[in-house]
Homo-oligomer: A and B are copies of this chain.
Amino acid sequence: MTISYAHMLRFSTSFFNGKLSFTSDNKGRRTQLLPFASLKRPDNNIIIDPKVDSLQDGVKWDDKGLAVAIARNVDTGAILMQGFANREAVFSTLSSRKATFFSRSLSTLWTKGETSNNYINIHDVFLDCDRESIIYLGKPDGPTCHTGAETCYYTSVFDSLKQQEIERNRLALSSLYSLESTISQRKVELAEENGKPSWTKRLLINDKLLCSKIRLDISWHVVSVSEEANELCQTLENNEDRLRTASEMADVLYHAMVLLTVKDVKVDVLQVLRQRFSQSGIEEKKSRVSKKSEQD
């Protein structure tokens, strides 16, 4: 059952407090701008909100007026790239909502995506405790690396140090995405499989087996069937320990992710989650209704 998240998360409405303007980005989507976005500052005809100025004064710029700026995917958490920012780059990032850096080699501002169109659309900007390092938290329009890779970090030092040759580049992935990548690899290998297939491969080619691992099949209820969603619930009902809950949740995640791979749905299901809890429940419900009517 699709549910309305209206009551679920009272988050978005308090996040921006009505002092926003809106514009459309290059793909026609409505983008929120912070209040200071359209203001002008004296030296180049743009006046900066005093709050932005004060915030920039708070950054510990290095002797070249720069701070490290790390662009991160708001949904997957992947580190997309790292560059440097000066005051103007931060201002530009905040006002345009596109990750912008200062090129040390060209001594100029550059907005990621200005040539490739793969902009990084900013959702928030964070400073570290020493205020000398910046995270640009954003949603990339496409691959960030100039090589076409999703991120710039695809060279594993550990792989390079192994004696054996490196078969393929490997992104710097956290656990969930490593699992996703491995399951996808198994799917690719299916064509060339000889001998007894692995468990993951058996799941990938047998929808009935896969579904029976995720949820209890009603027609099976007369026999003793254990499946993951059920076992996860039992850890709560039977007051089992936390390790057991984590273990059963890992099983649910694994099997659900095999299903996502079969359906060619990347873990960007997280974008769906974010969109649900960053809009009001009413908007969310509306969007579901219109999507449903489109499908009918």
Contacts and interface: CB of A to CB of B under 8 A. Distances in A.
Nearest to A234: B211
Contacts of A228: 1, 229
A272 B260 contact: no
Interface string A44-77: 0000010110010000000000001010111111
A72 B68 CA distance: 15
Interface in A123-181: 124-131, 133, 135, 137, 145-147, 149, 152-158, 160-164, 172, 174-179
A113 B287 CA distance: 48
Contact of A263 (B81, B236, B251): B236
Contact of A5 (B72, B75, B199, B259): B199
* Size range of the chain A interface in the assembly: 35 or more
B130 A152 contact: yes
Contacts of A160: 51, 55
Interface string A197-217: 011101000010011011110
A147 B76 CA distance: 26
Greatest chain B CB density within 10 A among A11, A152, A175 is at A175
B295 A269 contact: no
